[in-house]
């Protein structure tokens, strides 16, 4: 009740009247999950939630591109919260569909709400609207959330990591990265627009992507610290549960594989996309996953361009590594040179894609296509066409 009340209060303060756009689908999904059969609950929950979210995104498109009005910041916060709500609704409905969790389906008994059903309602709404989840991840399953809340009733907390130290550590990292992001942003503001100048364009696009990456890293750390403060996402020695996190800065900044970057970026969201789309898609699962991600993000021109390009570069990247690894397996020097070269390529390709996705508008997409940085993802697209599909070794 505390987490639910905190979520409702924060929604009202930060979203204003737009909070109703989050409350309606949360209540609707609760009704669907409690009245539909498990075999059909996921399809209906998925379609209704994505339809609602798409209508909200289309309204944003109408204001941005047709009316050319400045978007209310409260509406943008609401859209972000609605996207996170979609993750929780669809993951829970799929859990019900797969039999991982069960919910009572009896609605009335002697004209009074059944106590088990009332408990299920409150537990479900608490999960959908608890205040840390309204504004950020990582994504916790309904089962994990329910177990955590029920464990709070006990008195033996000796095996659970103290939440204060993870909270302080991530808060300090959040502050440091936020200051660094402001420094990078001030540098970018002093630069001119993109031109066909190879060193300048490459540096500007990479630094711009660094600013966006720092923004994501700091936001993920802040969200995780708040979740840790209420005991979520911490290591549990009794169940050998590891800490749940979206932030793996070391892997993201050192990997030489675009596919590994895609799996690690916003990790719980990547796992959600893999489960919701990739594992259930029968036709072109990789392309379907990135296309759905563009739909989930809002279908802005830069997002469509960036995510489709990302899918192509991930596919090409897997072909390249499988092809080259078999050629340089015995040479230590060649392996070092190859990893260094592909690390630079990964940094530049992911920087180009991230800038396209974040800047969103068609004019910025054209500017990126005309810049020198377009050469790097174009190389991957050409290699995807030229390199044969080499089968994996057993």
Check 266, 300, 380, 389 and give the catalytic one.
Answer: 266
Which residues, at least 6 apart from 307, have a Cβ–Cβ distance to it below 8 Å?
Answer: 290, 291, 293, 294, 297, 357
Q: How confident is the model at residue 143 (pLDDT cuts 50, 70, 90)?
A: confident
Nearest to 354 by CA among 323, 295, 313: 313
Cα gap 47→36, rounded to integer Å: 14
pLDDT at 161 over 70: no
Cβ-based neighbours of 120, under 8 Å, separated by 6 or more: 34, 103, 104
**How far is Cα 312 from Cα 380, in angstroms, rounded to an integer?**
8
What pLDDT, on a 0 to 100 scale, did the predictor assign at position 105?
60
Of 162, 170, 175, nearest to 230 by C-alpha is 162
Q: Is pLDDT of 217 > 90? A: yes
Residue from 328, 198, 338, 159 nearest 257 by CA: 338
Q: Catalytic annotation on 394?
A: no
| pTM given for the model | 0.88
Rounding to the nearest 10 degrees, give the CA dihedral for residues 44, 46, 48, 50.
-160
pLDDT exceeds cutoff 90 at 212: yes
DSSP H helices in 102-141: 115-129, 131-135
Higher pLDDT, 160 or 368: 368
Phi and psi at residue 111, in whole multiples of 5°? 65, 15
Taking residue 228's Cβ as centre, other Cβ atoms within 10 Å add up to 26
Domain ranges of the chain: 2-151, 158-244, 248-394
Condensed to tens digits (0 to 9), the pLDDT of residues 81-92 reads 999 999 999 999
Confidence of residue 187 (pLDDT cuts 50, 70, 90): confident
Q: How far apart are CA 183 and CA 205, in angstroms?
A: 16
| Residue 227 a catalytic site member | no
Between 49 and 67, the higher pLDDT residue: 49
For the residues 142-167, what does the mean pLDDT come to?
Answer: 68
Phi and psi at 105, nearest 5°, equal -110, 0
Phi/psi for 314 (5° steps) reads: -65, -45
pLDDT digits (tens, 9 = 90+) for 264-281: 999 999 999 999 999 998
Give me 178's structure tokens. 């936020």
- 57, 297, 300, 380: which is the annotated catalytic residue? 297
Distance CA(391)–CA(388), nearest Å, equals 9
């Amino acid at each position: 009740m505390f987490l639910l009340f905190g979520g409702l209060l924060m929604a009202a303060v930060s979203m204003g009247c737009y909070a109703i756009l989050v409350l309606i689908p949360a209540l609707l999904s609760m009704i669907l999950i409690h009245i539909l059969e498990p075999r059909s609950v996921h399809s209906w929950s998925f379609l209704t939630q994505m339809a609602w979210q798409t209508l909200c995104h289309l309204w944003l498109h109408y204001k941005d591109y047709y009316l050319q009005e400045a978007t209310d910041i409260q509406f943008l916060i609401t859209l972000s919260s609605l996207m996170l709500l979609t993750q929780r609704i669809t993951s829970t409905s799929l859990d019900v569909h797969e039999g991982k969790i069960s919910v009572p389906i009896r609605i009335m008994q002697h004209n009074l709400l059944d106590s088990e059903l009332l408990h299920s309602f409150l537990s479900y709404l608490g999960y959908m609207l608890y205040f840390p989840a309204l504004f950020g991840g990582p994504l916790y399953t309904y089962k994990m959330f329910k177990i955590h809340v029920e464990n709070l009733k006990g008195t033996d907390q000796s095996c659970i990591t103290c939440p204060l130290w993870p909270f302080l550590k991530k808060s300090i990292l959040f502050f440091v990265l936020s200051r660094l992001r402001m420094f990078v942003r001030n540098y970018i503001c002093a630069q001119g627009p993109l031109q066909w100048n190879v060193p300048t364009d490459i540096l500007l696009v990479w630094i711009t992507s660094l600013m966006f990456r720092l923004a994501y890293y700091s936001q993920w750390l802040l969200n995780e610290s708040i979740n840790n403060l209420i005991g979520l996402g911490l290591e549990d020695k009794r169940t050998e549960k590891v800490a749940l996190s979206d932030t793996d800065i070391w892997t993201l900044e050192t990997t030489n594989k675009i596919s590994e970057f895609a799996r690690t970026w916003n990790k719980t969201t990547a796992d959600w996309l893999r489960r919701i789309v990739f594992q259930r898609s029968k036709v072109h699962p990789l392309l379907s996953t990135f296309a759905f991600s563009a739909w989930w993000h809002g279908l802005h021109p830069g997002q469509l361009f960036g995510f489709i390009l990302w899918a192509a570069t991930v596919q090409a990247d897997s072909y390249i590594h499988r092809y080259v690894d078999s050629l340089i397996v015995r040479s230590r020097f060649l392996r070092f040179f190859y990893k260094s070269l592909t690390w630079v390529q990964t940094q530049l390709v992911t920087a180009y894609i991230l800038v396209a996705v974040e800047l969103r508008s068609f004019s910025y997409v054209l500017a990126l296509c005309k810049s020198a940085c377009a050469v790097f993802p174009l190389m991957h697209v050409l290699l995807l066409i030229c390199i044969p599909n080499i089968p994996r070794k057993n």
